[in-house]
Structure 1
Amino acid sequence: MTTFTPKNILITGAAGFIASHVANRLIRNYPDYKIVVLDKLDYCSNLKNLIPSKSSPNFKFVKGDIDSADLVNYLLITENIDTIMHFAAQTHVDNSFGNSFEFTKNNIYGTHVLLEACKVTGQIRRFIHVSTDEVYGETDEDAVVGNHEASQLLPTNPYSATKAGAEMLVMAYARSYGLPVITTRGNNVYGPISSLKS
């Protein structure tokens, strides 16, 4: 990938735990970046997480759903977005057993909407997809080497399956359309403002 300095960043799921920390830090440390945050304010997100950034001139909050192609396309074009940091997801594993269709809709279809908007507008220089280590499934405790980027994806629950599916779409858009993507697979995290619901 080539060196690139973002100017206008869309952060999805920005009122959630991890994304709000990223958004607040970017807004504070990079005043020349315009940060547009999109969140539907679901069960584990909270607008209070973004209070540190509320009065910053480089911050804009939009309440909305990544499942809305019209909204996503509108934001990309009107805000001249060049970078997407995609955190938005249904993440509560236990909930995925009872309402797996909602996980598919949000995690796979929502990601697909974002990717298609990237293709249609042709202006995205970096798409950062935040996934999970759960896409690897269970690791054999006797394994000499743990999981790595090229490890086979073996999700064990509906949540991790939808995150793996979203990753496959991201990879396909990178290969088919040349979309510059980065995928992260973080572990479970906790800390100040984390929700007990996720």
Structure 2
Amino acid sequence: MSYQPSSVLVTGGCGFIGSNFINSIFQKWPTARFVNIDKLTYEIRETNLAAKVRQSNRYKFIKGTIRDIDLLLNLLKDYQIDTIIHFAAMTHVDKSYADRIGTIEENVMSMTTLLEAATFRYNGIKRFIHIST
């Protein structure tokens, strides 16, 4: 793996796919700092991440929403993020059927806010990877 980021923002990093990604890539990018932002909904827990990741000084957890552009901009600037890996989404099928409009609004506006922050208001992003279900 030739790409070596210095500071990675992972959205939804406590969910099933996001936490497995962080657990897997953490040692492959040994100098990278990981900032994980997650709302911790639907029984999602930070303990989905390995203890060695959670206890590392290269890992920071932020409980929050990516719809908060001020929070995003602060994270991007404060941690000098150069890579974003976007997993965050409302994916619970039963909830999406019960609130179709709310689910679409949450997912689309979250992505829009993240793109706004990463492309128009901050200049340090080298890679933006969007994972979608």
TM-score computed with the length of structure 1 as normaliser: 0.62
Matched, 1:124 2:121: no
Q: Choose 1 or 2 for highest CA Rg.
A: 1
Matched, 1:6 2:5: yes
Q: Which structure 2 segments of 5+ residues have no match? A: none
| Deviation of the 1:4 alpha carbon | 4.6
| Deviation of the 1:41 alpha carbon | 0.3
Partner of 1:31: 30
Amino acid in the other structure paired with 2:131:
V
Amino acid in the other structure paired with 1:6:
P
Aligned-pair identity in percent equals 40
CA distance in 1, matches of 2:25, 2:106: 25
CA distance in 2, matches of 1:31, 1:83: 15
Q: Is the 8 A contact 1:27 1:59 kept in 2?
A: no
Amino acid in the other structure paired with 1:73:
L
CA distance in 1, matches of 2:75, 2:105: 20
Q: Is the 8 A contact 2:5 2:29 kept in 1?
A: no
CA distance in 2, matches of 1:101, 1:64: 22
- The alignment partner of 1:131 has SS state of coil
Partner of 2:105: 105
RMSD of aligned alpha carbons? 1.5
TM-score computed with the length of structure 2 as normaliser: 0.90
Q: How many residues align?
A: 130
1 or 2 for the larger relative contact order (CA 8 Å, sep ≥6)? 2
What are the equivalent positions in structure 2 for 1:128-143 lying under 5 Å apart? 128-132=129-133
